[in-house]
Structure 1
């Protein structure tokens, strides 16, 4: 690039004055939450508020040891804050590395600067593929067309002339220009709209949204049920302190306080691991989404292929009356006159030298993905058009057709060069086009693409290739890369939008696809029940990337595409997608396990609370007694299970997978608690004796559920369960007074609970089969 400009731009003093006045394009808000938001989100929760109310009631009773549960709440809060801050720092550091720059003119020099150093009145050079970062006015243009769909909702490109306004948030789909910044930073008209396209969903995901919905439901249940249980306990003659401890224990048990935390931690750890593999995660929830993807739409260029095109052959036709040398000189003048920075333009400029005597162009039409061609006029020479052959001409002779078929059979891209005697007057093709020759370009397949596609095929992820190239060329590239069914191809320039919902059921190779059609293909797949991932790197992919459930862009892609992507592969390595999928699977599979553990406690606490409202007996647990159960069978193992390297394919429905073991273990606890209550009353056991046996059997059931949920059982899992079970036993031996327990080894208690211990696994697995049938029945309905 020639660094001299005919425009002066701002001087150094003018730039300094504008910075002093605050007229700078301040850095847009980061995609992550700030430290204050992270702390508030993790600490100022509804459940924490309920826990504080519960703590107040316990303090009233004077039984301070029952406040032990607050230690778990505080620990959870600090762990959540710490992990999200770690993830934030990783994302922010990678975002800075990936941040786009801007070319501006200052002191007659073209210089590249960070976007946040652009000031008001700067002259900014914009080209195809860039996102416009400030509001401004066009000073000079060469066929500039902008997509302003983020502002207007209309995806048709808008042609810009000198004096036209442009807005931040739009992106350049064709041409280049020089614009003068009129509004920068927070003053720009579309500052907030731009952020909506870029901003992350933060720590949230489908998993967390589902859990938060569950929490909202529980919130409406916990307080009234707890209050009602306290009232009925007092009415049945229980002492006020015992009634308070019983009802607060029921409420604490119903709160799955660590469930959202552990999901957030798992997602945050996933982000940190991916950042170490040079993957920038711009939306945390997308880790989980990509793991659910069952159709992956790939743009051929830059994804399956390296995007580094090279000219392998050129052919001149007699009708053009040009020698091969004259044809090459002409093409050199055309491509250097157009000076396009896309992969095809760069390959052509590299292959064809600029003529010694530079010909001055009169007018040009830059390439656009919708037109599939570009054009330029030279004084007294006429106009020259370059692009996809079938977009320039309707018919070809037999020799030309045979040559094109042969080239496409080898996966080559074909560029037609044509001439018109008339100068360019509009964006429409002239009637007197004469075909001068063909240029053939080759794009190499990424070395990692075949093994990556093989992996997705083994994981039953369907692959669609969506490209602007000819379907035969795309099919051959797909075949060489190992895409299944490369023969199922179609030319999308020959179909209407109404046909797309049916086409996606039959075809997997889509050629000659317009940007709008890419979006419609994604929409059709989603309406057909698929979770769709989309990869791309250019402005022609942006509509589809935004519409997809999960978008992936290479780091060498356009600024506009990277700005809206869920993932940016910083090393442009297609194989990195496998690591992202595996991290997502770890999150989903492990959170399913963890959720079952937490909801076990919620299930039995809710059912028991409802039952004991109508029973003339105090609630069988005190808050202090739930601490060892919650910590040893849920809290501690959940942290190990949530970060376990479980990358198995996701099977079944999330809710079914979560609730089946949770309902089985929860109702097993209810069964043994009610049995203990009945037998204890018959044998005239004290409240402490009934409570101790209930805690013992509840812990046993939870360990049985943990053993089931933690499958496959490794020696590490056996060791973990063995250690936790030993600690649980030691509590009954050495710390019974602290946890309000009695001697569990009394003969009159063992006569009852030993047979119950033998029965426990049979009850759990029996109920599991029952709930498996009921949940399947409900899903089918």
Structure 2
């Protein structure tokens, strides 16, 4: 076995060594893209079962020589083209934001620390890592300052692992404490990064509820369309009618059963939503996440970076008891220099106190689970952190003083001398002083949180800080119920989380494991939960939540897991995210009924006319005015309308309350026209024209109900569609195989039907159909 090459620390590989490794194929690879390639987008939009059926039906129509009946293929082509265009547009927006949000890796090259993309790394590179970094390669530790690693994405164990020199690390691991230098031992296909980088997300996420329901409908139709079409074709031939009539009737029936626009509209709406959010500097990592956030009714907030801007300001050191202020300040400055942490608290203290020269003999950097850090120097040991995690029992006088300061909105840390840096708590700590830090409230925090509460989204604050301080800051931000707070460090090892989430709104001193369990408790209470975070202490909670939001300034591990990344780290953008999600889902749920009306009456008519002596009542060309004017065009505009009401989760019931009565109405009137046609000896052209007329009128009524609540735009849209539908009969008869309605004998048949259509539709809508559907539990 050959001995591994070890590049010099703080120098790394030379340019020549890097080029040699690239030529040898020892270069890392980028993460799999969030979006599909252009080729995949074209393939997945073109090569669908329904497109194949439509092409087959078009081929059959060609055999009849009735070329105008091929117009339905033009609609299919336009639908597919629009879907491809919207997805490519969304892809470009997402790809652009992905580049903006991608973190760089700090790598030693030729004695310089340079920032490189993941795919620029080569084998044996030396990576300088610190808290919050996620490893893009497999490696070994070359140098460490109390390196703590979360390997839960690999082992499933959430407990941090201490790593020493020579220890191995696997790609996907997250640095949660300390710093170190890692040498890449396996890159590209040799590492586990492709499988592990988003494993947590893939294990956790479920597909869109809306798309699941629609796909279930499509699956049922897949097994229905072909046998029904074949049965209709055979029965038409057996009645002695011509082959052309059999083909055109069968094609019309099968085209009517395909709700191709519904799948398209859903995909386009989600893609357009991702594009819109991209313009607001919000990266959407998964399209179904837009729907997930739209359904959220509990939003869990991490204080730092969400309620506050994340900018911490050191106010002062308050010496404890008889400690000398100057001596305490000097020792604190040395401690922060020795630990050399890069979190927000450490940066604020270092900026205020400076970085004096110090040579530590032992260093224990900050970790989310321990909640304190420390170092030994000048033959003494010191720690800084949350008092509850430093002392076995916080002295009563110290506790009272901290409570007073916390009520004033200060974040209070304890600076203490200890006899040994033991874990989980230091040995025999003696308080030297209290460190007072303030959080800067986000400028628009009050307006943002007020919006969410007005939208029936309950706000909960889950933070690792003192609950009194957190509650004080939350109150300043206008969040309600902040007087109901609890210190999670005092609840024991097996608390009743279901009781805690029911009784409290603010949770302080929360460990990463407790954050995840609190979210689980909200989910058990049948809530859809979103979680915001920016640090490695939020990883478990983000993984557990139904929808996760990360700040671009947060750790790379957090961003790689989140459904949404706020590129400008501006939480105010969440207003747009929630609105966009609700708009998309509410509008799709509303207009889906219009697509399924056509599907329902087409299936019912096909079943009926298999056993009747007359031909199927439509030709393919005659469905075009109904499909385009009563469904396709208006739903496109209705899907863009603002509708920010809370998602009800009643998709199927809402759809069926409109679609079932409408479909029954259409089938009833077409059967009545068929009987009247026999009675008055009307031609097929005449009865099919009346069938188109009555179907269009009923569909127009359904469109009017779907468009509620009405406004000027919606009324204008319905009137325009009705006008265009009328013009089809006046001037488009030859194109759409319709006879003229200016015929008094024919008018005697259709005028009573037209007059009765609206009251019959209303009776079915609000009477029998509503009572029946109200008793059905739709999922």
TM-score, length of structure 2 as denominator length = 0.96
- Describe how 1:408-557 pairs up with structure 2 within 5 A: 408-422=406-420, 424=421, 426-495=422-491, 496-497=493-494, 499-557=496-554
Greater Cα offset, 201-210 or 58-67: 201-210
Please state whether the residue corresponding to 2:165 is helix, strand or coil: coil
CA contact (8 A) 1:128 1:174 kept: yes
- Equivalent residue, structure 2, for 1:89: 92
What do the CA deviations read for 1:453-492 (whole angstroms, capped 9, x no partner)?
A: 1111111111111111121111111111111111111222
CA contact (8 A) 1:532 1:549 kept: yes
- Equivalent residue, structure 2, for 1:367: 366
Q: Which 5+ residue runs of structure 2 have no aligned equivalent?
A: 1-7
Count, aligned residues: 770
- Describe how 1:564-713 pairs up with structure 2 within 5 A: 564-651=561-648, 653-713=650-710
Alpha-carbon spacing, 1:525–1:428, altered in 2? closer, same or farther (3 Å)? closer
Please state whether the residue corresponding to 2:496 is helix, strand or coil: helix
Give the counterpart of 2:749 among 752, 757, 763: 752
Deviation at 1:217, TM superposition (A): 0.8
CA contact (8 A) 1:295 1:463 kept: yes
Greater Cα offset, 110-119 or 30-39: 110-119
Give the counterpart of 2:391 among 387, 390, 393: 393
Deviation at 1:715, TM superposition (A): 2.8
CA contact (8 A) 1:497 1:517 kept: no
- Equivalent residue, structure 1, for 2:354: 353
Alpha-carbon spacing, 1:747–1:189, altered in 2? closer, same or farther (3 Å)? same
CA contact (8 A) 1:203 1:284 kept: no
Please state whether the residue corresponding to 1:178 is helix, strand or coil: strand
Distance 1:6 1:145 in 2: 20
CA contact (8 A) 1:24 1:117 kept: yes
What do the CA deviations read for 1:475-533 (whole angstroms, capped 9, x no partner)?
A: 11111111111111122223344511222122111111111111111122112111111
Q: Which 5+ residue runs of structure 1 have no aligned equivalent?
A: none
Distance 1:507 1:428 in 2: 27
Distance 1:394 1:189 in 2: 41
CA contact (8 A) 1:123 1:178 kept: yes
Deviation at 1:398, TM superposition (A): 4.2
Deviation at 1:394, TM superposition (A): 3.3
Alpha-carbon spacing, 1:748–1:73, altered in 2? closer, same or farther (3 Å)? same
What do the CA deviations read for 1:1-22 (whole angstroms, capped 9, x no partner)?
A: xxxx953211111112222223
- Equivalent residue, structure 1, for 2:4: none
- Describe how 1:220-259 pairs up with structure 2 within 5 A: 220-259=223-262
What do the CA deviations read for 1:404-441 (whole angstroms, capped 9, x no partner)?
A: 1111112211111111234x4x4343442222121111
- Equivalent residue, structure 1, for 2:214: 211
- Please say if 1:137 is aligned against 2:137: no
Deviation at 1:197, TM superposition (A): 4.5
What do the CA deviations read for 1:351-386 (whole angstroms, capped 9, x no partner)?
A: 22233xx22101111111111111211142x21111
- Describe how 1:129-208 pairs up with structure 2 within 5 A: 129-197=132-200, 205-208=208-211
Greater Cα offset, 87-96 or 10-19: 10-19
Distance 1:565 1:698 in 2: 47
Deviation at 1:201, TM superposition (A): 12
Greater Cα offset, 38-47 or 736-745: 736-745
Alpha-carbon spacing, 1:248–1:230, altered in 2? closer, same or farther (3 Å)? same
Distance 1:516 1:150 in 2: 14
- Please say if 1:17 is aligned against 2:13: no
Please state whether the residue corresponding to 2:531 is helix, strand or coil: strand
Distance 2:108 2:321 in 1: 46
CA contact (8 A) 1:31 1:202 kept: no
Please state whether the residue corresponding to 1:429 is helix, strand or coil: coil
Distance 2:228 2:308 in 1: 61
Deviation at 1:299, TM superposition (A): 0.4
Give the counterpart of 1:306 among 306, 309, 314: 309
CA contact (8 A) 2:497 2:521 kept: yes
CA contact (8 A) 2:462 2:510 kept: yes
Please state whether the residue corresponding to 1:142 is helix, strand or coil: strand
What do the CA deviations read for 1:646-673 (whole angstroms, capped 9, x no partner)?
A: 3333345122222211222211111111
Alpha-carbon spacing, 1:395–1:520, altered in 2? closer, same or farther (3 Å)? closer
Alpha-carbon spacing, 1:239–1:16, altered in 2? closer, same or farther (3 Å)? same
- Equivalent residue, structure 2, for 1:112: 115
Distance 2:427 2:711 in 1: 74
Alpha-carbon spacing, 1:191–1:11, altered in 2? closer, same or farther (3 Å)? same
- Equivalent residue, structure 1, for 2:729: 732
What do the CA deviations read for 1:67-88 (whole angstroms, capped 9, x no partner)?
A: 1100011111111111100000
What do the CA deviations read for 1:318-354 (whole angstroms, capped 9, x no partner)?
A: 36xx410010000000011111111111111122223
Distance 1:767 1:200 in 2: 45
Alpha-carbon spacing, 1:746–1:201, altered in 2? closer, same or farther (3 Å)? farther
Please state whether the residue corresponding to 1:743 is helix, strand or coil: coil
CA contact (8 A) 1:203 1:268 kept: no
Please state whether the residue corresponding to 2:503 is helix, strand or coil: coil
Distance 1:253 1:636 in 2: 16
